[in-house]
Amino acid sequence: MNKYELPQDSQLRHKDFVFGVATSSYQIEGGVAEGGRTPSIWDTFCQKPGKVDDGDNGDVACDHYHLWQQDIEMISDLGVDAYRLSIAWPRILPEDGVVNPQGLAFYEQIIDACHARGMTVYVTLYHWDLPQYLEDKGGWLNRETAYKFAEYADVVSRHFGDKIDVYTTLNEPFVAAFLGYRWGIHAPGVVGEREGFLASHHLMLGHGLAMPVLRKNAPNAKHGVVFSASPAYPLEDKDIGAANYSDADNYQWFIDPVLKGEYPALITEHQAMHMPMILEGDLEIISAPVDYIGINYYTRNVVRYDEHGEIKIVPQPENEHTYIGWEMYPQGLTDLLVRLNERYDNMPPIYVTENGAATDDTCVDGQVNDEQRIRYFQTHLEAIDQAIRAGVRIDGYFAWSLMDNFEWAFGYRQRFGLVYVDYQTQERTLKQSAIAYKNMLLERAEENK
């Protein structure tokens, strides 16, 4: 397949549907001690033995800090409408209250280069790289960090204003709070139920505090927030309760306060002893109107109750899985988008802000034949089309990721990129999936002339 086949009469073929690629700062930039940047919690976490596969770190990553010009050219050559990136908080505010002009200038040249090539720019303010100096004061367990986030959002949006086309406050607060402060799998590596829920509330409070600041400083830009979601399916009818609870814990806990102004009762009742202190007015702040919701989808969860009444994820060995063991289940994306649309009366437009697969990629004679990823993208684009036909408003799709990069606790073992990166030489090679994406976008552009 040398291009993705978009269904006939599909909204995906329309010129207003946004196609893009996505990255995040710590995963690609490197240059961790350059340009005035100070350490983030991920720099610290990577130094702890056994926390990251192979002892990997983001010190160099894809060296985007130095190679950004060729990378933006590469993105432009794909023919995408938009580039989704994140800004590194410790590059902008290397010390509490100290603004770093070099950091702002670094991102300004990237934004300008994107605009010069006709691409819109989607910027995430927080993709998990909290400054270490804030973690030293408690990080997201400290309510003050929510206010520090709003100050950081103010610095960025006052500088860039509407030059940033679309702002995202947080990327995947589920991962930042629960993997970082509940289960200890990600930085900063804290373990505790109460800590996980406390961090999550402060993250969502930070989002809410930032929204009016962003609107004031960038009145013509769009503003929203991005959530990860792995929809749950009961193994048997007796496990429906397990699936409902899994959905509440996995994504409704984060989306409900934004779109409903409340946390889901399933969680607040079951986890009553671990609930954070929610001050009067917090939920009003968090539920500030948003222009869009981003949804990151990779796979689903099939769940059941075990003999102790605990919820367990049940592997589905009869179905196809990616190289890292994630089930390929495009129907889950359709189901998720429809479920969300039904759950929230005030659902704003949705972007699928991340979607992709890690496959077993090798570069042979300058070619990477990633056939499974091609099928993954094809079937998930079809799944989005089905959701649109079912009445869900979806305005765009971003492939994760532009290129292979630092995949957090998995280091460099997992390759999610459309573009293959040789980490020794930093050479970039378009995989067959990237060529198919480019060809599809070229064909769509011809149609819309």
Kindly state the average pLDDT of the residues 40-65: 98
Q: Tell me the two tokens of residue 181.
A: 């402060």
What single-letter DSSP state applies at residue 88? Answer: -
**What is the chain's mean pLDDT, rounded?**
98
132 carries a ligand binding annotation: no
323 is in an annotated binding site: no
Tokens standing for residue 261: 């102004």
Could you tell me the pTM of the whole model?
0.98
Looking at the annotation, which residues are catalytic? 172, 354
Element (H, E) at 167: strand 166-171
Q: What separation in angstroms does the CA of 171 have from each of 79, 123, 247, 342?
A: 25, 10, 18, 23
- Residue 139 has what pLDDT? 99
Report which DSSP code applies to 198. H
The reply, when asked if residue 5 is annotated as ligand binding, is no
**Separation of CA 21 from chain center:** 11
- Candidates 17, 156, 134, 155; CA nearest to 85 is 156
Query: Which two structure tokens, joined as six digits, stand for 368?
Result: 């990477």
Report how far Cα 425 is from the mean position of its chain's Cα atoms: 27
* 171 annotated among ligand-binding-site residues: yes
pLDDT for the residue numbered 1: 82
Interval 68-107: pLDDT, tens: 999 999 999 999 999 999 999 999 999 999 999 999 999 9
Mean pLDDT on 161-177: 99
Give the closest residue to 81 by CA, choosing from 117, 45, 119, 49.
Answer: 119
Residue 365 CB contacts under 8 Å (≥ 6 apart), including other chains: none
Would you say 357 and 373 are in contact if contact means Cβ atoms under 8 Å apart?
yes
8 A C-beta contact, residue 38 and residue 132: yes
Give the pLDDT of residue 9.
Answer: 95
CA dihedral in degrees (244, 245, 251, 256; nearest 10)? 80
Evaluate if residue 227 carries a pLDDT over 90. Answer: yes
Q: Is it the case that residue 123 has pLDDT exceeding 90?
A: yes
- Ordered by start, the domain boundaries in the chain are 11-447
**CA proximity to 419, closest of 74, 133, 138:** 74
- Cβ atoms of 375 and 433 within 8 Å: the answer is no
Q: What is the pLDDT of residues 229-246, one digit of tens each?
A: 999 999 999 999 999 999
Question: What gap in Å lies between CA 159 and CA 378, rounded to an integer?
Answer: 39
**What is the CA angle 175-78-443, rounded to 5?**
115
Q: Do residues 276 and 195 make contact, with C-beta atoms less than 8 angstroms apart?
A: no
Query: Which residues, in sequence order, are bridge partners of residue 358?
Result: none
Residue 183 annotated as lining a ligand binding site: no
Neighbours of 143 (CB within 10 A): 17
Q: Which CATH class is domain 11-447?
A: alpha beta
Please check if 298 is assigned to a binding site. Answer: yes
Question: Does the CA dihedral 64-69-70-76 come out positive or negative?
Answer: positive
Residue 95 token pair: 């010390």
Is 400 among the annotated ligand-binding positions? yes
Rg (CA), the chain: 21
For CA atoms 238, 242, 248, 251, the dihedral sign is negative
The CA distance from 421 to 61, in Å, is: 10
- Distance in angstroms (rounded) separating the CA atoms of residues 357 and 262: 33
**Alpha-carbon torsion (245, 242, 309, 173), positive or negative:** negative
Q: Give the type of residue at 319.
A: N
Contact between residue 26 and residue 408 where contact means Cβ atoms under 8 Å apart: no
Instruction: Name residue 46's amino acid.
Output: C
Paired tokens of 99: 């603004």
Q: What is the pLDDT of residue 32?
A: 98
The distance of Cα 259 from the centroid of its chain, to the nearest Å, equals 19
> Of the candidates 87, 16, 116, which has an alpha carbon nearest to the alpha carbon of residue 351?
16
Average pLDDT over residues 236-258: 98
414 has a pLDDT exceeding 90: yes
Q: What is the mean pLDDT of residues 371-386?
A: 98
Q: Is 90 exceeded by the pLDDT of residue 145?
A: yes
- pLDDT per position as a tens digit, 318-369: 999 999 999 999 999 999 999 999 999 999 999 999 999 999 999 999 999 9
Q: Are 155 and 202 in contact (CB under 8 A)?
A: no
Q: What is the pLDDT of residue 181?
A: 99
Beta bridge partners of 292: 224
* Separation CA 384–CA 337 (nearest Å): 8
Q: Residues in the chain, how many?
A: 449
Q: For 172-197, what is the mean pLDDT? A: 98
Predicted confidence (pLDDT) at residue 204 exceeds the cutoff of 90: yes
User: How far apart are the C-alpha atoms of 48 and 79, rounded to whole Å?
Assistant: 40
